[in-house]
Chains A and B, each alone.
Chain A
Amino acid sequence: MMNSPDPSHPDPLQDPQFASLVERLKAQEEPRPSVDFTVRTMAARYRPRSLRTWGLPAIAAGLALLLGAGRWIFHPGPLQLQAGASSPVAILMAAQGADGGWSADVRQSPSRYDVSLTALALLALMQQDAATDPGPEAAAIRAGLAHLLRQQRPDGRFGADFSGSAFTHYLATMCMISALDRVAADPDWAAAAARARPHLPPTSQMTRLNANLARPELFPERWADAGGPVAHAALAMLKR
């Protein structure tokens, strides 16, 4: 389809000074759809839009069912707190462990996702608390940051080595950098951020991580496995 020229406005696409530029733009390679794109799209019409549209109570309840109802029933510690919480902030505050961290495991036993979940919860709380710093969540944030500091390895990396370690390290480092903006920032946070810097992922990977994090509904299983209601509460706060 051609752009129709208008006598009162010359058509810029036909302007000779832009000819090579327009040619280069048109020559850009088109992305190819996956072979199952049509099938997936047909099915997507009847799929719930995303977890976040259900509302947090429904998310918590749904995840409880999805994530092995038996286990949650027999170990009803943190989940009871979360089910009684009325807002994302309340969910996070209620789910914080005694050591200052957040656990992806309902029984609070160590999980490889704990560092990233703790960082995610802290980023959300720091955003919430920024306007009133030091606000009601300040103590929880300081405890969380202290916990995160204890998770930093001697070489500066955060978290264990596994497939999600780049993401974990990125979140924890961003958390430390964000914490430096707070009133009475601890010098240890700056030192931790400096030690973490050399291990941050390359820019290209950062972009991908950001894209994934901004669209958690694209991998709900992964998030559910990784962080459960705490992750969803934190993401809901960060999206505001």
Chain B
Amino acid sequence: MAQVRDGSDDAFRQLVERYQRPLLNFFARMGASHHCEDLAQETFVYLWKYRHKYKPVAKFTTFLYTLARHTWLDSLRRQIRFQLFSERYRAAVPDSTDGGLPRLFKRLDIQAALERLSPKLRETLVLAVHQGLAYDEIAAILHVPLGTVKSRVFNALATLKKMYDEQP
């Protein structure tokens, strides 16, 4: 990262190659399956743009996932308006769907269940399970105490388990 800070193209290319899959997975698990690649690319562009702000005392992944999280939140804000349309559409015209939603709830897919978690629980669980980050690093990324991270992970797992237990 020090070389990236100095503007090295080769070093940046190595970072992109090393972290593209984890970032894609992060965005996909957060629910951006249709545009996870765009968000990953956006994160790398932010990384380049803000490379001078990286302090060597912090872990690189903390810096990277902080940027990824901002990218995700920004994308959520952009989509809110159209999510409202989508919910409205489902409520207004339930007979017009292809049965996708009822099928989803009958056969609860793990990704669908993940997407039903609140954003706070989901991001904490994804960082812990899918990205394999240590709790203290997650605490630094989310700016919350270590105990909060653990309780969010516990609550996320308990909620998911409840969804499966209640499944007919």
Q: A6-B146, A202-B100, A203-B97 are in contact. Are A174 and B85 (CB under 8 A)?
A: yes
Q: A211-B79, A218-B38 are in contact. Are A21 and B92 (CB under 8 A)?
A: no
| Interface residues as binary, B60-97 with A (CB distance below 8 Å gives 1, 0 otherwise) | 00000000000000010011011101101110110111
What is the bound-complex CA distance between A103 and B97, given in angstroms? 30
Q: Are B161 and A17 in contact (CB under 8 A)?
A: yes
CB of A11 closer than 8 Å to a CB of B = yes
Query: Shortest CB–CB separation between residue B51 and chain A, in angstroms?
Result: 10
Q: Are A26 and B98 in contact (CB under 8 A)?
A: no
Q: Are A25 and B98 in contact (CB under 8 A)?
A: no
Q: A174-B85, A210-B86 are in contact. Are A28 and B150 (CB under 8 A)?
A: no
B-side contacts of A132, CB under 8 Å: none
Query: Shortest CB–CB separation between residue B31 and chain A, in angstroms?
Result: 10
B-side contacts of A150, CB under 8 Å: none
CB of A109 closer than 8 Å to a CB of B = no
Number of interface residues of A (CB under 8 A): 58
What is the bound-complex CA distance between A23 and B147, given in angstroms? 23
Q: Are B90 and A210 in contact (CB under 8 A)?
A: no
A contact patch SS: helix
A-side contacts of B150, CB under 8 Å: 6, 9-12
Q: Are B28 and A31 in contact (CB under 8 A)?
A: yes
Q: A15-B157, A204-B100 are in contact. Are A214 and B81 (CB under 8 A)?
A: yes
A-side contacts of B88, CB under 8 Å: 174, 177-178
Query: Shortest CB–CB separation between residue A138 and chain B, in angstroms?
Result: 21
Q: Are A18 and B157 in contact (CB under 8 A)?
A: yes
B1-49 interface with A by 8 A CB criterion: 9, 12-13, 16-17, 20-21, 24-25, 28-29, 33-38, 40-41, 44-45, 48-49
Most buried by B among A9, A10, A12, A211: A12
CB of A206 closer than 8 Å to a CB of B = yes
Q: Are A206 and B89 in contact (CB under 8 A)?
A: yes
B-side contacts of A24, CB under 8 Å: 110
Most buried by B among A2, A3, A4, A30: A3
What is the bound-complex CA distance between A45 and B150, given in angstroms? 36
What is the bound-complex CA distance between A8 and B147, given in angstroms? 9
Residue from the list A10, A13, A200, A214 in contact with B82, Cβ < 8 A: A214
CB of B144 closer than 8 Å to a CB of A = no
CB of B142 closer than 8 Å to a CB of A = no
B-side contacts of A174, CB under 8 Å: 85, 88-89
Chain B residue nearest in CB terms to A214: B79
Which residues of B line the A interface, CB within 8 A? 9, 12-13, 16-17, 20-21, 24-25, 28-29, 33-38, 40-41, 44-45, 48-49, 75, 78-79, 81-83, 85-86, 88-90, 92-93, 95-98, 100-101, 110-111, 114, 125, 128-130, 132-136, 146-147, 150-151, 153-154, 157-158, 160-161, 164
**Chain A to chain B contacts (Cβ below 8 Å), 25 pairs:** A4-B136, A6-B135, A6-B146, A9-B147, A9-B151, A10-B150, A26-B130, A28-B111, A31-B24, A33-B20, A34-B37, A37-B16, A38-B13, A41-B45, A42-B13, A44-B41, A45-B12, A45-B44, A173-B93, A197-B96, A200-B96, A203-B97, A207-B86, A214-B75, A238-B82
